[in-house]
Amino acid sequence: MASANGERQARHFIFGFRGTFFAALLISVLAPFSAVPAFARAAPESFADLAERLSPAVVNISTSQLLQPGDMTIPGVPPGSPLNDFFEEFLEQQQGARPQRVQSLGSGFVIDADGVVITNNHVIEGADKIEVTFTDGTTLPATVAGTDPKTDIAVLKVKSDRKLPFVELGDSNTARVGDWVIAIGNPFGLGGSVTAGIVSALNRDIHAGNYDDFIQTDAAINRGNSGGPLFDMSGRVVGVNSAIISPSGASVGIGFAVPTSTVKPVVAQILKYGETRRGWLGVRIQSVTPEIAESLGLGRGRGALVAGVNPGGPADEAGIEPGDIILAFDGKNISTMRDLPRVVAEAEIGATVDVQLFRNGDTLTRKVEVARLEDEEVAPTEIPGPAGSSPQTTVVLGLALADLNDDLRQRFGVPKETAGALITDVDPLSAAAEKGIRPGEIIVEVAQRPVSSAADVEKIVQSEEKAGRNSVLFRLSLAGEIRFVALRLGG
């Protein structure tokens, strides 16, 4: 039992079915109102008619993959772990250092009579052989039309001499918490299993990626259900079952499905281009906390705060600046930071759209031409730690601040063009420490005013306190990466 990489390991261990050896060794845990009348639909007497109609379009997916000895790891255990060393040593003793063929089972469903099948990317990732089995026992070889690891969706194609049973992709945006849903799939390789439950929550972020927007359900989902459909009571697919939270490996009533609002554009692009083509705005963003909203005069926390703008990118050319808060994109409101990546990704490449911004107390609109997302974001570079003698510092809100000089720039890796006050130490009991501020960061703005020294920071903070402000906004720079943090005054 093995898998090819860390992310796939965790997912396959939750859902894959690869025999019983080490099967129970480890499981990953995906670490005001008023009364209104209720109009909920009554619980159905039976799901039998629905299950009978839909099951023929739900398939079992069997994959196999040849792994070299060095690739063998325990699902759910990161590469390099001593447990993996032990596992590989055990296999070498039992079978010698030879390649091993690994089997895996998952689920999927047909959406077109000509043989288009949807499943999870992690079900088929790395496989060199894929077979699809229908409820009548028919088994067909499948080819990969395309995959999208970012949403964990894969599209397969099978050829048959007859029209295949299929189901329709519905509208997940109509789903409501409390609605009945049923899941059909291949748990533990049993095949053709039907479970029922309700929509427990919507728009769940389980930190699987930038486009998290999961439907949570208590319909039983187990290992092997991956890639299977989640149906509403009209028999339309509203989600693709993809993950569970479980300390035991079995269903505890917390499962997650990728909503069809995410699935549809991905599938359409894969069928048209063989790949996904996402829109790109060219900004680095962060959440608008209540403290940040208050410090900027926005009121309630909403939108996405622009922490940085890619030079020459669409946002830069449109005049969007760091410190702007994006409130709407192409007519779609941005309630939270994580709404923006999904909305931008779904935008038509080359289209010119309106972006509504909040800047310096005013709401304004900029027109942006959406570009195509080509490369992954570059991870921030770590700043070297302090060394040498301690500089003279000024303490403001739990932050020890020093003026930048040649020695400090060299020790902390601060570029010559960066102006501001250097944070040399952070009081571990301060609000600044709770917000994750750390030594090595540079304060470049306070209350949207540029600073070049520790004295500048102290002066502006004092003026904000005298003005009756409850919090003050800091713009911080670390290795060229910008972020904003609001601190309570007097904290």
Q: What is the pLDDT of residues 161-207, one digit of tens each?
A: 999 999 999 999 999 999 999 999 988 878 789 999 999 999 888 77
The number of folded domains in the chain is 2
Same domain, 367 and 409: no
Q: What's the confidence (pLDDT) of residue 111?
A: 96
Same domain, 403 and 484: yes
Strand partners, 476: 443, 483
Same domain, 356 and 412: no
Which residues are annotated as catalytic? Answer: 122, 152, 226
Q: What is the pLDDT of residues 199-252, one digit of tens each?
A: 999 988 877 777 888 999 999 988 888 999 999 999 999 999 998 887 666 678
Q: What's the confidence (pLDDT) of residue 386?
A: 44
Taking residues 372-379, what's their average pLDDT? 58
Q: What is the pLDDT of residues 37-90, one digit of tens each?
A: 445 556 778 999 999 999 999 999 998 877 666 555 544 444 555 555 555 565
Taking residues 447-469, what's their average pLDDT? 88
Residue 189 lies in a domain: no
Integer CA distances (angstroms), 300 to 296, 305, 323, in order: 10, 13, 16
Taking residues 103-111, what's their average pLDDT? 89
Same domain, 357 and 417: no
Residue 151 lies in a domain: no
Q: What's the confidence (pLDDT) of residue 157?
A: 95
pLDDT category of residue 24 using cuts at 50, 70 and 90: very low
Same domain, 358 and 313: yes
Same domain, 348 and 423: no
Q: With b meaning 16 or more CB within 10 Å and e meaning fewer, what string describes 399-434?
A: bbbbbbeeebeebbebeeeeebbbbbbbeeebbbee
Residue 429 lies in a domain: yes
Q: What's the confidence (pLDDT) of residue 330?
A: 92
Q: What's the confidence (pLDDT) of residue 29?
A: 33
Pick the residue with more confidence: 474 or 33?
A: 474
CB atoms within 10 A of CB 23: 16
pLDDT category of residue 378 using cuts at 50, 70 and 90: very low
The phi and psi torsions of 155 (rounded to 5 degrees) equal -115, 125
State yes or no: pLDDT of 419 exceeds 90.
Answer: no
Select from 300, 340, 474 the least CA-distant residue to 401.
474
Among 103-107, 307-311, 388-392, 418-422, the minimum mean pLDDT is found in 388-392
Residue 242 lies in a domain: no
Any idea what the CATH number is for the domain that residue 307 is in?
Answer: 2.30.42.10
d(CA 352, CA 331): 12
Domain-ending residue, one of 311, 341, 372: 372
Residue 164 lies in a domain: no
Q: What's the confidence (pLDDT) of residue 18?
A: 38
pTM over 0.95: no
Domain-ending residue, one of 372, 405, 433: 372
Q: What's the confidence (pLDDT) of residue 466?
A: 86
Same domain, 472 and 413: yes
Same domain, 398 and 366: no
Length of the chain: 491
Same domain, 424 and 345: no
Q: What's the confidence (pLDDT) of residue 58?
A: 95
Q: What's the confidence (pLDDT) of residue 340?
A: 92
Select from 133, 131, 61, 118 the least CA-distant residue to 240.
118
Token pair in block for residue 167: 């189901």
Residue 250 lies in a domain: no
d(CA 251, CA 400): 49
Among 133-142, 210-219, 368-377, 436-445, the minimum mean pLDDT is found in 368-377
Residue 462 lies in a domain: yes
Q: Provide the residue range defining the domain that includes 322.
A: 279-372
Q: Are 142 and 130 in contact (CB under 8 A)?
A: yes
The phi and psi torsions of 135 (rounded to 5 degrees) equal -65, -25
State yes or no: pLDDT of 389 exceeds 70.
Answer: no
The phi and psi torsions of 153 (rounded to 5 degrees) equal -115, 140
Taking residues 121-127, what's their average pLDDT? 89
SS (H, E, C) the chain: CCCCCHHHHHHHHHHCCCCCCCCCCCCCCCCCCCCCCCCCCCCCCCCHHHHHHHHHHEEEEEEEEEECHHHCCCCCCCCCCHHHHHHHHHHHHHHCCCCEEEEEEEEEEEEECCCEEEEEHHHHCCCCEEEEECCCCCEEEEEEEEEECCCCEEEEEECCCCCCCCCCECCHHHCCCCCEEEEEECHHHCCCEEEEEEEEEEEECCCCCCCCCEEEECCCCCCCCCCCEEECCCCCEEEEEEEECCCCCCCCCCEEEEEHHHHHHHHHHHHHHCCCCCEECCEEEEECCHHHHHHHCCCCCCCEEEEEECCCCHHHHHCCCCCCEEEEECCEECCCCCHHHHHHHHCCCCCEEEEEEEECCEEEEEEEECEECCCCCCCCCCCCCCCCCCCCCEEECCEEEEECCHHHHHHHCCCCCCCCEEEEEECCCCHHHHCCCCCCCEEEEECCEECCCHHHHHHHHHHHHHCCCCEEEEEEEECCEEEEEEEECCC
Residue 162 lies in a domain: no
State yes or no: pLDDT of 13 exceeds 50.
Answer: no
Q: What's the confidence (pLDDT) of residue 227?
A: 93
Q: What is the pLDDT of residues 322-355, one digit of tens each?
A: 889 999 999 999 998 888 998 998 888 999 999 9
Q: What's the confidence (pLDDT) of residue 376?
A: 46
Pick the residue with more confidence: 1 or 238?
A: 238
Same domain, 295 and 358: yes
Strands 421-426 and 442-446, bridge-based pairing: antiparallel
Q: What's the confidence (pLDDT) of residue 479?
A: 75
Same domain, 295 and 327: yes
Q: What is the pLDDT of residues 257-313, one digit of tens each?
A: 999 999 999 999 999 999 888 999 999 888 888 888 888 888 888 999 998 888 899
Q: What's the confidence (pLDDT) of residue 391?
A: 66
Q: What's the confidence (pLDDT) of residue 231?
A: 96
Domain-ending residue, one of 337, 372, 407: 372
Same domain, 412 and 467: yes
d(CA 200, CA 210): 22
Taking residues 429-440, what's their average pLDDT? 85
